[in-house]
A and B are shown apart, each in its own frame.
Chain A
Amino acid sequence: MQGLLLMILSWMRPLFRKFGADPDQVEAIVALKITLDNRRTYTAFSQQQYKQKDRSNSFWLMLLLYAFMGSFGCVVLIGVYNQAPIYALSFSFAIPMLLVGMALISDFSSVLLDSSDNAIILPCPVNGRTLLIARITHICLYLLLMSMASSIASAIVIAIRFGAGYSLLYMVFVMLSSLLVIFLTNLLYLLLMRFTSEEKLREAIMYVQIIVAIFFYAGYQVLPRMISTTDNLIQLNVKWWHYLLPPVWFGGSMEAFLTPAFDPLHLSLLALAVLTPFAGIWVTISYLTPLYNQRIASIDVDARPTQTGTLPQHTTSRSDELARWLTGSPLEAAGFALTWRIMLRDRQFKLRAYPAIGYMIVLFFMFVWRTGNSLDDSDTGNSFASILPLYFCTLLLGNAISLLRYSEQHKAAWVFVSTPLEEPGEVMLGAVKAAIVQLLLPVQVVVSAYVLYVGGIKSLDDVLLTTFVNISIAFLYAIGNGYFLPFSSPIGEMTKGANVARTLIIMMMVGLLGLMHWGLSKVPYGVWAGIPVMAGIAYALLVRIRKAEWAKFTVS
């Protein structure tokens, strides 16, 4: 594969020369980038899949994944084309466009913002133009491969249905659409860069990554259901604003050829589809790229923070305040405050923990959406359906709690060993409490409010019981995966398989507890009786963590 890419590059040599770049150097840089990309860990889909040693094919695996995700578009194409061809086609364009856009934002943000190029390559006899051309070539090659991979399934469907010629045409439109996406993403980045500093930009990109991940999760949850239930409802009620959506331009153009229909509407869509990518490229090369590179270059200028004359004020911050309220000892408060702050500030942590929370919210809404009507009918308010959402929170806890022990700066954990720390359990308890308050509590409050709103005050017992269940489960997760000090293990140690068995056992316990809860709800005042028992269990687990001794901990 790599050889193939390099062959394509060698065909482009005259073009490079024409642009004033040195073909040998462009080739060397692009080849290097391909190697680096193959050894990189991709963030987009690998929330669970962590660094392994010596990856060397991660990009090709990534492409396979894209092909798989893209095959979703062909399902729609097969299922809906007859009823609403423009919808089906637009949808099949939207998938590669979204995937490419997402890849640009999430994975290539590190490539685009990488200033090590400036530090390593520019001191060599390479002119700026060569580096620029190499960068553009690298990005275009990759996006081309990605869009191809994610639309290959749809292209095959079209080839079977309409013939290979149309399939080729489809691929051309896919390429055009990814060019448009490159332009749009470029615009987005420039806008972000205009208004924010580099640090803020990285922060903003992180949130975009998280939102995109959740969005995709939601899409894959919601869309199949929509298709199965609304099969007959999709009609050709195209509204005017639909034409503002770029995928519709391409879908419409494709429809024009397939039908064939070349009325003014289709012709204008076709014009948009063909002209906007080229216009975008022209604007990118002549206006945006110089601006962009200027910005990138200014990013790594070693602008030192100027010393401000103000003295640090002695104030108790909110996290200290919280820690004081919620913990029993100074040591526990220290663990709480440390964890609280790192969870709020560490980009890597957020990137790993927040999508899981988002997935829960999606699941919750899915649940509400599907059972929303039936819930009102239940006269007891204690039906299984009203208890269930309360248990959603436990699903997100497992991920968050297991993340607490890992950090890129795990080496900083030497402070736990070098200080005369006698009760490591206290620090751990503080950390777990911080996670519960910061991650579980907000979701629990929202879900409880919903349950109380739907079920009325008589659901209060359910809410209370599940609160204690969820807290207990949080402690169980913490203990079950081994005692730990916050952020003290290298992320590399995070392995996919090791904890699955334990997590499964805990999940089964959650199920069991849920069943018991349901059983109790059939007994008068049963749930109320369960509350003190559950609270007792939670407290016992809490004490167990607090009393844990050094022998149970491992600090690398």
Chain B
Amino acid sequence: MNPVIELQQLEKYYGTTHILKGIDLSVSAGQVIGYIGPNGAGKSTTIKILIGLIPDFLGQASVLGMDVRKDTLEIKRRIGYVPELASLYDSLTPLEYLQFIGKLHKLEPAMVERRTMDLLRLFNLEGNANDRMTTFSKGMRQKVLLISGLFHNPDVVFLDEPLSGLDANAVVLVKEIIRQLADSGKTIFYSSHIMDVVERISDRIVIINQGQVIANGSFEELKELRASGSLEQLFTQLTGNDEQVSIAGAFVQTINQ
């Protein structure tokens, strides 16, 4: 089976900063990929390259068998993206916003409205469907963004910190949605800082650090790399920051002085 996402020697410079230093990755359909790394490791950059927002990179990147550089539009049509920093036009209402996104996807307006209302209802937002989003909490905005990234039924979904601001019940709900999407054959590319969520929902975990893949495999496989109980421990060990305990000690000591 052809891989859904394939990266070969992906490199990216911002000015003189070498942000991605040759990423190789291959993802097959129906998998949930947990893509994790410390701040500044290049997670968002990788995702932006995959969804065609950054055209000037080195190496090869393909999604659904299509070249990211050439078939950008066709790829965009078949993927969904939920961005990290919740930027949306917040003087619109959720309905107006989603209808706009629907138009850009060239979906049929009546269908968009029906589906939008159904999805908003499932997220408990139907009562706010016609309120301007300026008043929305972070969690409510995140729900709207999730809908906007998923409602056109994409084959591949890129999620960048999708759980931020959601309450505990919504987190359970979204995790379950991710699981069931994957079970129905869709591929989920999931980037997050919340290790135990990644640990639980990912079929495969990819850890990057300073622009390079330093671990790639199922949680079980990764555990064999180092003797650690949780992904969190493993993560701190692998990303070279196993001094956290001693730093914490020094921190407390400084306060107590």
A interface residues with partner B (beta carbon < 8 Å): 24-25, 28-29, 32, 35-36, 39-40, 54, 116, 118-127, 301-304, 306
Contacts and interface: CB of A to CB of B under 8 A. Distances in A.
A124 B77 CA distance: 7
B100 interface: yes
Contact of A304 (B40, B76, B106): B40
A41 to B, nearest CB: 10
A121 B91 contact: no
Contacts of B72: 127
B207 interface: no
Contacts of B83: 119, 123
Given A36-B89, A40-B91, A302-B44, 13 more contacts: A24-B103, A32-B92, A35-B92, A36-B92, A120-B87, A122-B53, A123-B81, A125-B77, A125-B104, A127-B73, A303-B14, A303-B17, A304-B40
A39 to B, nearest CB: 4
A331 B14 CA distance: 45
Given A40-B91, A120-B88, A125 B15 contact: no
B85 interface: yes
A28 B91 contact: no
A344 to B, nearest CB: 27
Contacts, number: 66
Interface in B96-154: 96, 100-101, 103-106, 132
Nearest to A22: B106
B51 interface: yes
Contacts of B15: 303
Given A118-B53, A123-B51, A302-B44, A35 B104 contact: no
21 contacts: A25-B104, A25-B106, A32-B89, A35-B96, A36-B89, A36-B91, A36-B92, A40-B91, A54-B132, A116-B89, A119-B83, A119-B85, A122-B52, A123-B76, A124-B104, A124-B105, A125-B106, A127-B72, A301-B14, A303-B14, A304-B40
B136 to A, nearest CB: 14
Given A32-B89, A116-B87, A25 B53 contact: no
Contacts of A116: 87-89
Interface size class of B (residues with CB under 8 A): 20 to 34
A306 to B, nearest CB: 7
| 3 pairs of A and B residues whose beta carbons are closest in the complex | A28-B103, A124-B104, A39-B91
Contact of A124 (B17, B88, B101): B101
A116 B88 CA distance: 7
Contact of A32 (B74, B77, B100): B100
A75 B107 CA distance: 53
Contacts of B51: 123
A193 to B, nearest CB: 16
A39 B53 CA distance: 28
Contact of A125 (B14, B44, B91, B105): B105
Interface in B23-40: 40
A304 B19 CA distance: 10
Nearest to A122: B53
Nearest to B55: A128
Contacts of A302: 44-45
A110 to B, nearest CB: 12
Contacts of B17: 303, 306
A121 B88 CA distance: 10
Given A32-B100, A119-B85, A303-B17, A24 B106 contact: yes
A87 B92 CA distance: 46
A365 B154 CA distance: 65
Contacts of B91: 35-36, 39-40
B103 A25 contact: yes
A122 B53 CA distance: 7
Interface string B3-14: 000000000001
B104 to A, nearest CB: 4
Contacts of B96: 35
A547 B228 CA distance: 59
Contacts of A119: 83, 85, 87
Nearest to A54: B132
B39 to A, nearest CB: 8
A123 B72 CA distance: 10
Contacts of A306: 17
Interface string B42-55: 00110000011100
Contacts of A120: 87-89, 101
A28 B104 contact: yes
Contacts of A122: 52-53
A23 B53 CA distance: 22
A119 B72 CA distance: 15
B100 A28 contact: yes
A11 to B, nearest CB: 19
A118 B74 CA distance: 18
A445 B40 CA distance: 50
Contacts of B105: 124-125
